[in-house]
Amino acid sequence: MARGAGWMVMLRMADRVLGVISLGILARMLLPEHFGLVALAGSLGGLLEILSELSVELALIRGSQSDRRLYDSAWTIKIVRGLVVSVILLLLAPTVARFFAEPRIEVVVYYLALASFILSFENIGVVEFRKHLAFEKEFTYLFL
């Protein structure tokens, strides 16, 4: 258990380091007002992600069997959820731009919708690592 906790701490630390590095790169590339646009769009995307979370991964972890069909179904559910979130973002983009009186945010929300859909194709098999507490495998998968 202690080894698993160590791997999870390393995973979080590596994630934070990569976040700081990417923030530094963005700070050099973007103007301060662009950060505000990304923050507004990100808030909307984050809210939709939270409200639409189905916890299919937790259901797979808690389940007693590791049936391939369950994983396939969970992956399909995640893709459909990503598609629904993306469509909602696409439909809300013009309204958000009008609400904030900032037309540039519309394009940012469009890109966020695309990213949300692409990220929904994440490999569901990683859940198997968490189920069996093989955090070193998850760490290796996520950072290599």
Average pLDDT over residues 26-54: 88
Average pLDDT over residues 36-59: 91
More confident residue, 64 or 109: 109
CA distance 71 to 129: 13
The closest alpha carbon to 73, from 143, 119, 124, belongs to 124
Q: What is the pTM of this model?
A: 0.81
Using CB atoms within 10 A of its CB, is residue 92 exposed (0-12), middle (13-18) or buried (19+)?
A: middle
> Using CA atoms, how far apart are residues 124 and 141, in angstroms rounded to an integer?
12
Q: What is the mean pLDDT of residues 51-61?
A: 91
Output the six-digit token pair for 129.
């690592």
Taking only the tens place, the pLDDT of each residue in 86-123 is 999 999 999 999 999 999 999 999 999 999 999 999 98
Of 61-75, 76-90, 130-144, which has the strongest mean pLDDT? 76-90
Residue 7 has pLDDT above 80, yes or no: no
Q: What confidence score (pLDDT) does residue 1 get?
A: 62
- CA-to-CA distance for 88 and 92, rounded, in angstroms? 6
